[in-house]
Every structure is written in structure tokens, then in C-alpha cells.
Amino acid sequence: MADTQVAVDGLKQRLDSLRTSLEEGKKGGAVRPAVLMDLERRIASLEARLVSAPGTEPTPLATPVSEAPPPREATLPHTEAATVALRADDALLRSGAVNPNYRNGLERYRAGDCDQAIANFRQFLKAEPTSDLADNAQYWIGECYYARKDYNRAIIEFNEILTKHSKGDRLPGALLALAASFAGEGDDIDAKLVLQKLINDHPKSEEAEIGRQKLKALTQ
């Protein structure tokens, strides 16, 4: 594979050089038509070889290198904690192998398929109840119910993290999402209590900073 990549890189360099020569020749007008035709033929030949190389495709002249696309946001209604959680999970998925049920559950959630997302996360929790990702899976189940505006069920699911995964790293997000669920039900009193707990217990977290703004809005 390494030898193939070296060969492909060499082809790309030759192709870029020929394209540059062709463009300069066309602009300057000093190169004979026969030479330009020969350059075009050689470029076409190199492009064909690149297309046949595995995992490659020709790059147009002077095309800037595009940046990697940003992580996709959820397409469903979601709490502000979900934005933080998605960012963390994107880094997690890039870092190595993740259980297929967890990966698929997250993809289905992002695609707006709550039924399948919940099923995948439930299967993950059943197979790996003591996993470091158990609190994450439980969190996304809560977000699925929040997306459906089933705030009462969302409260139950988020509260599972407080009772069963109180040492997990998804706890600040669960508290912020729990407060959002109470607010969704019109229960501002409990929403404020949960936000205060978030701020007191996890003052330096990103979720706590969001919680301070939410608490201020609820007390105005």
C-alpha cells in the first residue's frame, strides 16, 4: 500500500506540472499548437491512470484544498447539552473502534430516526451495561424522547444517569438536559433547582456555563 501511494503521489505531481505548463502555454501563446496537443494528450493519459488507482481521483488545477466538513448537528429538536455531547462523541468515534450498536444508534439519532436509535442504544446497554459509554447511551435515549416532546419520559431517562451513572462524564449534560425537560413541561421550579445543582456540582463545565444563562433567563 505504501509503494502504491508513493506511485500515486508521483503521478499527481507529474499531472500538476503538466497542467501548469499547459495553462501557461495557453495564456502566453508562445507554445506551438502541436506541443499543446501533446500536453493535453499526456494529461489525459495521466488522469486515466489516476482514476484507475485505488482511492484516488484527479484534482483540478488550482483547486484549493477543502477543509473537512464540520460534525453534523442533530436534525431533531434537542437540548443545548446535545450539541456539547455530539462534539464529544465525534472525537470519540474518530479515536478508535466503538461498539456498532452505539455507533449506529448515534447515526440514526442524527438522521432523525428515534425508534431505531433507541433500539440500538437499548441493545448496547443490554450487551455492555458496565461500559464507559453506558451513560452516553442512556443520555441519547433521553434526547430521543425530548425530541418527541415526551418530556415526562425524557425526565425519567435522564434521571437514570443521575441514579446509575453518577460518576460518568455525561452527568453535566444530563443535568442540563433534565432542566430543559422540566422547562418543556412548564415546571420552571424544578428546572431552576436542577440548573443550580449543575452549577454547584460542575462549575467549570461547558454545560454549567450554559446553565448559568438558562438560570438567569428563568429568574427574570
Region of poorest pLDDT, from 67-76, 114-123, 137-146: 67-76
Residues with Cβ within 8 Å of residue 161, at least 6 apart in sequence: 135, 138, 139, 142, 168, 170, 171, 174
Least confident of 76-80, 142-146, 157-161, 211-215: 76-80
Q: What is the pLDDT of residue 21?
A: 63
Q: Which residues contact 106 (CB under 8 A, 6 or more apart)?
A: 89, 93, 117, 140
Average pLDDT, the chain: 81
Distance, CA of 47 to CA of 174 (rounded, Å): 52
The CA-atom distances, in angstroms, between 97 and each of 5, 74, 104, 155, 163 are 25, 22, 13, 31, 28
The radius of gyration computed from the CA coordinates of the chain, to the nearest angstrom, equals: 27
- How far is Cα 37 from Cα 45, in angstroms, rounded to an integer? 12
Q: What is this structure's pTM? A: 0.67
Given this model, what pLDDT does residue 59 score? 42
Contact by Cβ (8 Å): 133, 102 = yes
pLDDT band at 76 (very low <50, low <70, confident <90, very high): confident
